[in-house]
């Protein structure tokens, strides 16, 4: 279940104006995100880390920023960005994994792109909901797999040599 707590009528990412404040470390990643980004020639552990407490993968950072933000504040993996990044202009407020997983999204506060750019219509909202649901379902499956197979099996799957790092 996806719950959106607030509306946005128009939005465009103007990362230069806010200095890419949404591009932070710790963004939740799915296994699909990791595989997609790894296809650029990177090992998963160069850009992600496993969070034992939440049983999820998280994006690494440098000084609190996303590891993929370049000096010009542009995203180095835009074509393969994590699903959580596609949720902008909403950020994840709460995630609960149970029989019916739930995610609460809220518009980014003080975003200079709010009110400008493309119309945030029903299709845009529907796409946000699809992406959020994808993230929820994939990570719920990851949690199940970690519990049944162990994290070593997942890490082996992600490693090109077929061995857990």
Is 13 within the bounds of a domain?
Answer: yes
- Tokens describing residue 85: 């990044």
Is 163 within the bounds of a domain?
Answer: no
CA–CA dist 33, 60 (Å, integer): 13
**Which of the four pLDDT bands, split at 50, 70 and 90, describes residue 163?**
very low
Is 58 within the bounds of a domain?
Answer: yes
φ, ψ of residue 59 to 5 degrees: the values are -75, 135
- Tokens describing residue 32: 């699909």
Nearest to 4 by CA among 145, 141, 140, 122: 122
Question: Count of domains in the chain?
Answer: 1
- Record the pTM: 0.83
Phi-psi region of 41 (alpha: psi -120 to 50; beta: other; left: phi over 0): left
Is 69 within the bounds of a domain?
Answer: yes
- Tokens describing residue 142: 């990851």
Is 33 within the bounds of a domain?
Answer: yes
State the pLDDT at residue 161.
Answer: 65
Question: Which residues, 6 or more positions from 100, have their beta carbon under 8 angstroms from its beta carbon?
Answer: 1
The boundaries of the domain holding residue 126 are: 2-155
Other residues' Cβ atoms within 10 Å of the Cβ of residue 84: 22
Residue range 102-157, pLDDT digits in tens = 999 998 888 888 888 888 889 988 999 999 999 999 988 998 899 999 999 999 88
Burial of 25 (0-12, 13-18, 19+ CB in 10 A): middle
**Range in 4-8, 17-21, 85-89, 158-162 with the lowest mean pLDDT:** 158-162
State the pLDDT at residue 82.
Answer: 93
Is 23 within the bounds of a domain?
Answer: yes
Is 165 within the bounds of a domain?
Answer: no
State the pLDDT at residue 38.
Answer: 92
Q: Long-range contacts of range 59-62, CB-CB < 8 Å, 24 or more positions apart? A: 59/25, 59/26, 59/27, 59/28, 59/29, 60/25, 61/24, 61/25, 61/26, 62/25
Burial of 75 (0-12, 13-18, 19+ CB in 10 A): middle
Is 164 within the bounds of a domain?
Answer: no
C-alpha count within 13 angstroms, C-beta hemisphere, residue 131 = 23
């Amino acid at each position: 279940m996806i719950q959106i707590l607030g509306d946005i009528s128009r939005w465009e990412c103007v990362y230069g104006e806010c200095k890419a404040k949404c591009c932070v470390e710790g963004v939740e990643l799915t296994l699909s995100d990791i595989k997609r980004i790894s296809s650029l020639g990177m090992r998963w552990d160069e850009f992600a880390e496993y969070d034992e407490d939440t049983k999820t993968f998280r994006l690494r950072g440098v000084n609190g920023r996303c590891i993929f933000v370049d000096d010009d504040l542009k995203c180095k993996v835009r074509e393969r960005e994590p699903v959580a990044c596609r949720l902008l202009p909403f950020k994840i407020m709460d995630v609960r994994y149970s029989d019916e997983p739930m995610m609460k999204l809220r518009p980014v506060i003080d975003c200079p792109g709010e009110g400008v750019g493309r119309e945030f219509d029903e299709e845009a909202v529907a796409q946000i909901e699809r992406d959020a649901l994808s993230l929820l379902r994939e990570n719920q499956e990851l949690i199940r797999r970690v519990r049944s197979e162990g994290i070593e099996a997942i890490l082996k799957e992600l490693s090109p040599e077929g061995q857990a790092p």
